[in-house]
Structure 1
């Protein structure tokens, strides 16, 4: 199968208006569309991510009595979180056939306009949910019943996001998952840490052909890895989402203005250029761990000289 464009990242929440206000205020996203479709069980809003042309952030909430999102929230003890990644494929039926050959049974939604499936190896449990649509089926996530939305004026400074950089997935073996994504959808490994670089983790980064968004895979190392604890709680799902910001001091000032703390700050200098990164806890973002980074020159935060050798 081939993914030729990431369309959006979607999070589910019990309180749509509150989450949209957070994204417009702290994150500086701009709402461009909203919908309320009880027949499909969804209320939602689509927001533009600054700098991420063609890719959006969507917030969805239950609508009606039989919403699958209400079931999702019940299964997660009412906690919001990342729901799915939306993408376009050239041939939806070919994707269905490929997934079924690999032991993945996709779910049809909206009368065949899109499919939903976890694209992780099924023998390792449910991973990240993907929503896939093909050409000629452009309605996705309420678009058909959508209406334009007037963006609100942000309350104070925002983070100054300039791009959605990558989505990170936790998995027990980074190479197993990387090979799976390569064989399934042509993901290309472009960067990896040395096995011994970090005491509690190892990671690699995959390019998604046709997308500016990358896919990071992190795996546990050592006897007390935070990734082991994450996998024990929820399995091999999305761990965090990473955004680049234009001005580090301004981003931290925006967090302070909105009473949003950060943690695990790190900084360094690579090839004479500075970089910094930090995290925002899911309880301050609507259920998703968010990483923020800034780099003085492109390519110094994630070193371009860590190109991996060919797989054997």
Structure 2
């Protein structure tokens, strides 16, 4: 069962400049940063609020590190802006299979590692009214009880 908006992914050309905009304009602070080599992005997660299911809602700012990454190709075609919406779930495996059973294309056969060691998959935008949709199960060690709201960490994923 989908429980919250986990994050909204925003593609940008310059991560540092975009982080500063959200900090200066709205007061949002960086909760987490990482480089995900598999997806070809540098990212920053800006925490917006805690949620009733123990998770949180974020803005995810994404800067491609390769032109051939999905975000790099998307930026070349569309420019900066909202790239995807992600819904939180306690069980991405079960929910993605249930959604697949309704005829929606799930882009990964098995969920993959995402930001902050979460498990993720995506739904095809053509089956979701033009919206690239991500399903996310947060890692237990990144819940609000296990992570301070002001720590950023840089980690390379492969």
For the aligned pair, the TM-score class normalised by the smaller chain equals: 0.7 to 0.9
Task: Answer whether contact 2:67 2:73 (CA < 8 A) is retained.
Answer: no
1:183 paired residue among 19, 24, 31: 24
Instruction: For 1:118-133, list aligned pairs within 5 A.
Output: none
> 1:215 is matched with which residue: 51, 55, 59?
59
Higher relative contact order (CA 8 A, sep 6+): 2
Query: Which among 80, 84, 91 is matched to residue 240 of structure 1?
Result: 84
Structure label with greater radius of gyration: 1
Shift in alpha-carbon separation, 1:205–1:248, aligned structure 2, 3 A: closer
User: What does residue 168 of structure 1 align with?
Assistant: 9
Deviation at 1:231, TM superposition (A): 1.3
Alpha-carbon distance change, 228 to 256 in structure 1, aligned in 2, over 3 angstroms: closer
Equivalent residue, structure 2, for 1:205: 45
For residue 210 of structure 1, report the CA deviation from its aligned partner.
8.6
Aligned-CA RMSD value: 2.9
CA-CA distance at 1:298 after TM superposition: 5.5
TM-score (norm 2): 0.75
Q: How many residue pairs end up in the alignment?
A: 141
Indicate conservation of the 8 Å contact 1:206/1:215, yes or no. yes
Q: 1:184 and 1:210, CA in 2 relative to 1: closer, same or farther beyond 3 A? A: farther
Query: What whole-Å deviation, never above 9, does each CA across 1:94-132 have from its counterpart, x for those lacking one?
Result: xxxxxxxxxxxxxxxxxxxxxxxxxxxxxxxxxxxxxxx
1:297 match: 140
